[in-house]
Amino acid sequence: MAKNNWNRVAICLTLFFLVYVIYRRRCRSSSKFDENSIFIPENSKFTCDDLFEGNSFGKFNFSAKYFEDLPAFREETKKHGTVGDEHLVMFLSEQLALHYLAGKKVFKSVCETGFNYGHSSFNFITARPDSKILSFDIGLHSHTLEIMAYFKKTYLGRFTGIIGDSRFTLPKFVTDHPDYKCNLFFLDGSNTYEVVLSDLKSFSKISDEENIIIFDGYPTKDNSSVETLGKAWEQAKSDEVIAELMRCRKGRDATKGFSIGKFL
């Protein structure tokens, strides 16, 4: 009798273990980001303007939280000299791309270079309620610190801003926080080859296995960033620091474009 009871226990434990393993695998697979879902049009000659038009992503829009918090955020930036969204250098399809990616469950931690008025941070932090933002900015403008303070107060525990030259502040952060991981990256800081390449290499050291990079300003129709941003991006690809997933140029503005990739 005792032997039969132990057999039943063993069978139950085995079944429980199998169910648990299947459950965990499903959870992991459902949380992973499908790189094929990055709103890339079938037409190989697409521009950035085509990303959210005429495809399954055409109805995607900013979250309710984005629109709820937008008036207060605009008022805050107006205190420091903006009029409307005139300082928002990103165009609509790029804004939507950032918001779409930041809303994915797998991307819980965002790292960025280039805070300025905080438009990209606002985009990220309103995409979902539990993500955290780590933002690096050189701090050339006095308004940057004040708007960072606004984010810290408004989104308690979710925003960290670091001021200084990212060639030094970013490696220091990596050294001081070796276990910190980001899985969504946005580079919109320096326009120099040396700084951008340094930022890419530093970010790669704190990148999670599941990660995506949005790289602002390259390529463009006028090729104005080829020798700076482009050189850094292509060098990082050559060094196998990153892999490119897509790139696009804005059709109606020769100076704008962006690329999407991932750290290897």
pLDDT in tens, 181-225: 999 999 987 789 999 999 999 999 999 999 999 999 898 888 888
pLDDT value at 13 more than 90: no
Contacts of 127 (CB under 8 A, 6+ apart): 63, 65, 66, 98, 99, 100, 102, 103
Q: How many residues does the chain have?
A: 264
pLDDT value at 100 more than 50: yes
Mean pLDDT, to the nearest integer, of 71-94? 78
pLDDT value at 70 more than 60: yes
Helix (H, G, I), strand (E, B) or coil at 135: strand
Contacts of 101 (CB under 8 A, 6+ apart): 38, 107, 184, 212, 214
* Whether 195 contacts 166, CB under 8 Å: yes
Mean pLDDT of the chain: 84
Give Rg (Cα) of the chain.
21
Q: What is the pLDDT of residue 8?
A: 56
% of the chain surpassing 70 pLDDT: 79
More confident residue, 114 or 41: 114
Q: What is the pLDDT of residue 113?
A: 96
pLDDT value at 17 more than 50: no
Out of 14-18, 158-162, 191-195, 200-204, pick the least confident.
14-18
Q: Which two tokens stand for residue 234?
A: 């292509």
As a whole number of angstroms, the distance between CA 116 and CA 134 comes to 13
pLDDT category of residue 56 using cuts at 50, 70 and 90? low
Q: What is the pLDDT of residue 29?
A: 39
Q: What is the pLDDT of residue 43?
A: 67
Element (H, E) at 102: helix 92-102
pLDDT category of residue 81 using cuts at 50, 70 and 90? confident
More confident residue, 20 or 58: 58
Contacts 24+ apart (CB under 8 A), 65-74: 65/126, 65/127, 65/129, 66/99, 66/122, 66/123, 66/126, 66/127, 68/126, 69/122, 69/126, 69/154, 70/122, 72/154, 73/118, 73/122
More confident residue, 43 or 75: 75
* Whether 244 contacts 214, CB under 8 Å: no
